[in-house]
Amino acid sequence: MAVGQCNFPDMLDVPGIMLGTACAGIKQTVKDDILVIQMAEQSTCAAVFTQNAFCAAPVHVAKANLTHEPRWLLINSGNANAGTGEQGMQDALLTCAELARIVGGGAKQVLPFSTGVIGQPLPVAKIKAVLPEAIRNLSLNNWDKAARAIMTTDTFPKGISKVITIAGRSITINGISKGAGMIQPNMATMLGFIATDAKINQALLQICLTLAVEQSFNRITVDGDTSTNDACVVMASGCSTAPEITAGSEHYAIFADALMSVCKQLAEAIVRDGEGATKLMRIVVKEALHDEEAVRVGKTIAHSPLVKTAFFASDPNWGRILAAVGRSGVESMILENVQIFLDDVCIVRNGGRADDYTEEAGQRVMDRDEITVTVKLGRGKASQEVLTCDFSYDYVKINAEYRT
């Protein structure tokens, strides 16, 4: 189940970036579960990774290989290769080496990524067997197949394609992502792969990505769990005829804004596809002392099981939101200054229920599929938004049956 219209868009080609998929039968045999992405030789690549201390073997390898001018990404779904110890490391290295052998590159030029069940050995033989097929299938226009190959409990493939103009020349930015559960922003709790034909050096691309992730994937949560595997990668092929993007330039601002937009749209798609989700909630915190305070309040509300289940029930139980704000750790909060709204309906004012609030008005908002909760702290000028979804019966069912 997903909230709102979630059709996969028409994706433009990104010159210099090719994608190929195949089915290794890792967890199922119905759809492709292997994705290979090939970058042009002059490409630059940046990435951010999960902060989970038990990060998966492919995360360790990808981090190390990122400094070796990567040319290929190797992604599998159905198995996380996490919690697999030294054998998991060797398995990740083996798959990289096999891909490199087939394409005639170096093993350290391959970045591996895995998603799926934790604690099970990676089926290396199955992956190696279909790598030639994935490479034969390399194409500029395989974005739909690529988005589907990386899915696990997702109910729809997630993608965005955007074109910007710099100095009269076009630059394309495409992105795909996967994620529906085990989503708690602590870097980028999902897998995301973004490609552009822009010319930009690696250090500047890394800065762009880090800033974009902070305001997008780090502002979403489904269930408060940070995965062992998650990563977000941006690849720049340099094949556009637009001038190189340099720090501090007008061109940089245009590119950075576009990358931010792509990341935000992918992040929102993940929340819309939250496991069992029936509602999308935007938690907007205003008048905080600083951004960190605003984010903390927003995440406290977004993580609350009581708040999330009330939204699933369409129950205007505003006291749960009030309680979450109160326990968010804001020091010296002046309760009389705090205002809380459901869309445009004020539910809390002057330290308690707003005098003009009615249950009927609250119910009208709670019956909607998309709802904005606005909290005005009355302390400063900082404002931040966190996206989340409700908790339904299906969330429990999906995760209770995840390994069956």
What is the predicted pLDDT for the residue at 229? 87
What is the predicted pLDDT for the residue at 358? 97
What is the predicted pLDDT for the residue at 404? 65
What is the predicted pLDDT for the residue at 335? 95
What is the predicted pLDDT for the residue at 158? 96
Q: Is-catalytic flag, 67?
A: no
Contact 228, 52 (CB under 8 A): yes
* Calpha distance 335→300 (Å, rounded): 17
- According to the 3-state scheme, what is the secondary structure of the chain? CCCCCCCCCCCCCCCCEEEEEECCCCCCCCCCCEEEEEECCCCEEEEEECCCCCCCHHHHHHHHHCCCCCCEEEEEEEECCCCCHHHHHHHHHHHHHHHHHHHCCCHHHEEEEEEEECCCCCCHHHHHHHHHHHHHCCECCCHHHHHHHCCCCCCCCEEEEEEEEECCEEEEEEEEEECCCCCCCCCCCCEEEEEECCCECHHHHHHHHHHHHHCCHHHECCCCCCCCCCEEEEEECCCCCCCCECCCCHHHHHHHHHHHHHHHHHHHHHHHCCCCCCCEEEEEEEEECCHHHHHHHHHHHHHCHHHHHHHHCCCCCHHHHHHHHHCCCCCCCCHHHCEEEECCEEEEECCEECCCCCHHHHHHHHCCCEEEEEEECCCCCEEEEEEEECCCHHHHHHHHCCCC
For residue 282, list its beta bridge partners. 372, 387
- Residue holding tokens 């190959």? 149
Low-confidence stretches of the chain (pLDDT beneath 70): 1, 182-189, 404
Contact 36, 138 (CB under 8 A): yes
Which domains are present in the chain? Answer: 17-272 (3.60.70.12), 280-400 (3.10.20.340)
Contact 375, 297 (CB under 8 A): yes
The single residue of 115, 189, 196, 228 carrying the catalytic annotation is: 189
User: How far, CA to CA in Å, does 393 sit from each of 197, 271, 278?
Assistant: 43, 17, 10
What is the predicted pLDDT for the residue at 180? 74
What is the predicted pLDDT for the residue at 184? 65
